[in-house]
Amino acid sequence: FFFQAEDGIRDIGVTGVQTCALPISWLPLREAAPLLHFKSPRALKARILRGGFPPDCFRQLPSPSGKRHSYLVNVERYLRTLR
């Protein structure tokens, strides 16, 4: 769950762009659930829908058809709320 980003370090002996791995904060339910120790993405979604999940730790994204929504979870932010 990482992407590559330029870190701004340049050296005359190095060609190309220097990169570093940065964590992606917003993950879909299927990837966030195991990291947060939920039994399944469905269990995580149920917690969100019940209101037992901090509202600033998830985003609801409408589907193009408008019938089903997908969710993204900010794993890092959620873990900070547990401290």
Q: pLDDT per position in the chain (83 positions), as tens? A: 344 444 444 445 555 554 444 455 799 999 999 999 999 999 999 999 999 999 999 999 888 887 888 999 999 999 888 88
Give the pLDDT of residue 29: 95
For every residue of the chain, DSSP letters joined together read: -EEEEE-----TT--S--EEEEE-SEEEHHHHHHHTT-S-HHHHHHHHHHT-S-GGGEEEEE-TTSS-EEEEEEHHHHHHHT-
Give the pLDDT of residue 38: 95
Model-level pTM? Answer: 0.66
Q: How many CB atoms lie within 10 A of CB 17?
A: 12
